[in-house]
Amino acid sequence: VVKRHINLMNDKDTISSERYDVIVIGAGPSGNTAAVELSSGGMKTLVIDQRHIIGDKLCTGIIGVECASIVPPREELVYRSASEVKVYSPNGTSYMLGDDTCHALIVDRVSYVQDMAENAMQSGADYLLGSRVDSINIDDSKVQVAGNSGDRQFSFNARIVILTGGFRTGLLKQVGLEKSNQLDYLIGTQIKVKARNIDRTHIYTGSGVSPGSFAWLVPTDGDDALLGGVSRERLNGGLDGLMNTLVADEIISRPVSSVENWGIPLKPIPRTFASRVLVAGDAAGFAKPTTGGGIYYSILSGKISAEVTLEAAIDGDFSDKKLSNYEKRWKELFGNELRAGFYARLLYESL
Ligand SMILES: Cc1cc2nc3c(=O)[nH]c(=O)nc-3n(C[C@H](O)[C@H](O)[C@H](O)COP(=O)(O)OP(=O)(O)OC[C@H]3O[C@@H](n4cnc5c(N)ncnc54)[C@H](O)[C@@H]3O)c2cc1C
């Protein structure tokens, strides 16, 4: 657990402090990555998150090797490396996919994200946890970010805000930006189980398991594993059939947590910047439409948002024209990948 975060609580009902250069809303992979770069670049940075425990968001913790090369996880956070996966088709037959090369790592996701926050703190960023942002007001000279930490209100001013509040954040509307189409998302469902003798990830396909998509059994620490699935529609007990089969086959024993659901965006939002605002990570709709993996794009977009913010600060220009460089850069870097993935998904769903 990250220990050092600012303690601004005082006797007053309202918490307010000196002005920041930049406020980052959301301490996920995207916000923390941005905060590392911003504070290292000399900007006075505040990160606000409604969670008390950083990184504790529904996720499987699989990162590709390209992601691990940008933000390497500490060795002790890597449960295992994934080279081959075992794919089960609807009729029960299975085949191995992959080779000897390591394509991905299964990591302790919570600690991985907390390490990013720790780095940002060491570079000088302040963190305000357990604090929910309710309003963002932008005028010609500043951004005002307000909300509450339990029964206390807070309000901070900054020159720019980076919005990394995750999937379909309601804060987009407040800064005059739109969410993507109502239908352009997946719902991920996951539950913790105990697994016996699983040494690699299992993938289950077929509409009976996860319509138009797939389900997974991913071994993590010791005999712990994550059983999950992703689909356009809430699986609503859809994992039960698979779980019963796996229990009957003695591959897993009964679940050790309750089922959790959370959304995964399939498409970028129409516009990811405005005057004094940049949007990154899931909030901007950046995830791989084929697999639902979003940590990599969250990190990349967090980095680009920080670069563009640092450049804007040098020129003292936070206009939407200046910040439009952000959208140009992420599109150059991974815009085509996201688009191709979206069409690959549509094709798969139509089969
Ligand atoms: C079931 C499931 C499994 C997944 N597995 C993988 C995987 O294995 N690999 C992978 O790459 N991706 C995976 N993903 C996707 C991945 O989790 C996300 O893409 C990634 O976490 C996005 O990072 P982020 O920083 O943009 O947002 P988040 O990690 O969602 O962080 C956003 C933060 O903002 C905070 N916040 C939101 N609103 C407010 C507010 N108003 N005030 C203050 N704080 C606020 C939240 O508390 C949260 O901490 C999975 C998703 C699901 C649903």
Output the pLDDT for position 345: 87
166-211: pLDDT as tens digits: 998 999 999 999 988 777 899 999 999 999 888 899 999 887 777 7
Ligand 1 atom closest to Cα of residue 64: 11
| DSSP H/E element including 260 | strand 260-265
The residue whose CA has the least distance to atom 18 of ligand 1 is 294
212: left (phi over 0), alpha (psi -120 to 50) or beta: left
Which CATH number is 14-56+110-181+267-350 given?
A: 3.50.50.60
Same fold for the pair 14-56+110-181+267-350 and 74-107+185-264: no
User: Is the pLDDT reported for residue 100 higher than 50?
Assistant: yes
Q: Is the CB of 48 under 6 A from ligand 1?
A: yes
Q: What is the C-alpha separation between 313 and 42, in angstroms, rounded?
A: 10
Strands (E), 31-151: 45-48, 62-64, 78-82, 85-88, 94-97, 104-107, 126-128, 132-138, 143-149
Output the pLDDT for position 13: 46
Q: Provide the pLDDT confidence category of residue 51 given band limits of 50, 70 and 90.
A: very high
Angle between helices 29-40 and 109-122 (to 10 degrees): 20
Ligand 1 atom closest to Cα of residue 284: 26
- 129 or 5, higher pLDDT: 129
Q: What is the C-alpha separation between 50 and 34, in angstroms, rounded?
A: 18
Q: What is the C-alpha separation between 260 and 272, in angstroms, rounded?
A: 28
Output the pLDDT for position 115: 97
Q: What is the C-alpha separation between 168 and 170, in angstroms, rounded?
A: 6
Torsion of CA 168, 330, 160, 294, to 10 degrees: 40
Output the pLDDT for position 250: 92
Q: Provide the pLDDT confidence category of residue 9 given band limits of 50, 70 and 90.
A: very low
User: Is the pLDDT reported for residue 232 higher than 50?
Assistant: yes
Q: Is the CB of 28 under 6 A from ligand 1?
A: yes
Helices (H), the chain: 29-40, 65-70, 109-122, 171-174, 238-248, 295-315, 320-330, 336-350
CB 189 within 8 Å of CB 232: no
Q: Provide the pLDDT confidence category of residue 234 given band limits of 50, 70 and 90.
A: low
Output the pLDDT for position 16: 59
Q: What is the C-alpha separation between 335 and 145, in angstroms, rounded?
A: 30
101-156: pLDDT as tens digits: 888 999 999 999 999 999 999 999 999 999 999 999 999 999 999 999 988 899 99
Output the pLDDT for position 84: 86
Ligand 1 atom closest to Cα of residue 54: 49
Q: Is the CB of 281 under 6 A from ligand 1?
A: yes
| Residue among 80, 295, 303 whose CB has most ligand 1 atoms within 8 A, to mutate | 295
**Residue 283 has what DSSP assignment?**
G
Q: Could you tell me the residue ranges of all domains in the chain?
A: 14-56+110-181+267-350, 74-107+185-264
245-263: pLDDT as tens digits: 899 999 999 788 999 999 9
Average model confidence (pLDDT) across the chain: 90
Average pLDDT, integer, range 339-348:
89
Distance 29 CA to ligand 1 centre (A): 8
**Residue 101 has what DSSP assignment?**
S
CB 191 within 8 Å of CB 226: yes
| Residue among 298, 300, 303, 334 whose CB has most ligand 1 atoms within 8 A, to mutate | 298
Fold of 74-107+185-264: D-Amino Acid Oxidase; Chain A, domain 2 (3.30.9)
Q: Provide the pLDDT confidence category of residue 235 given band limits of 50, 70 and 90.
A: low
Bridge pairing between strands 273-274 and 277-279:
antiparallel
Instruction: Residue 303: name the closest of 324, 275, 326, 285 by CA.
Output: 326
Residue with token string 């910047």: 273
Q: Provide the pLDDT confidence category of residue 302 given band limits of 50, 70 and 90.
A: very high
Q: Is the CB of 302 under 6 A from ligand 1?
A: no
Output the pLDDT for position 139: 94
Q: Provide the pLDDT confidence category of residue 25 given band limits of 50, 70 and 90.
A: very high
